Amino acid sequence: MDTLDQNVTSVADVALNPSVFCVFDTETTGLFNFKLPADDPSQPRLASVAFILADKDGRETARIKRYALPDGWEMPAEAGAINGLTTEFLLENGVPVSEILDLYETYVSQGLAVVAFNAQFDCKMMRSEFRRAGRDDLFEKTRNVCVMRALDPYGKEGLCIMRGYVNLSVACEHFGFKNYQAHDALADADAARQILERLIKDDRLPEPKVHLAKTKV
Give the chain's mean pLDDT.
Answer: 86
pLDDT band of residue 121 (cuts 50, 70, 90) is very high
Is pLDDT at 212 greater than 60 in this prediction? Answer: no
Domain layout of the chain by residue ranges: 11-153+182-210
- How far apart are the C-alpha atoms of 72 and 41, rounded to whole Å? 12
pLDDT digits (tens, 9 = 90+) for 83-99: 999 999 999 999 999 99
- Average pLDDT in the 18-30 region? 95
Rounded average pLDDT over 32-47? 92
Q: Over the stretch 162-183, which tens digit does the pLDDT of each residue have?
A: 445 678 988 898 888 999 899 9
Lowest model confidence (mean pLDDT) among 29-38, 55-64, 151-160: 151-160
28, pLDDT greater than 60 = yes
Confidence of residue 4 (pLDDT cuts 50, 70, 90): very low
Closest residue by Cα to residue 200 from 60, 24, 17, 5: 60
Return d(Cα 25, Cα 117) in angstroms, integer.
8
- Residue 162 vs residue 140, higher pLDDT: 140
How far is Cα 112 from Cα 57, in angstroms, rounded to an integer?
13
* pTM, to two decimals: 0.86
The answer to whether residues 54 and 114 touch, using CB atoms and an 8 Å cutoff, is no
CA distance 201 to 217: 34
- Is the pLDDT at 36 greater than 70? The verdict is yes
Q: What's the rounded mean pLDDT across residues 129-141?
A: 94
Per-residue HEC secondary structure of 156-204 comes to: CCCCEEECCEECHHHHHHHCCCCCCCCCCHHHHHHHHHHHHHHHHHCCC
Q: Check residue 209 and give its pLDDT.
A: 87
* Architecture of the domain spanning 11-153+182-210: 2-Layer Sandwich (3.30)
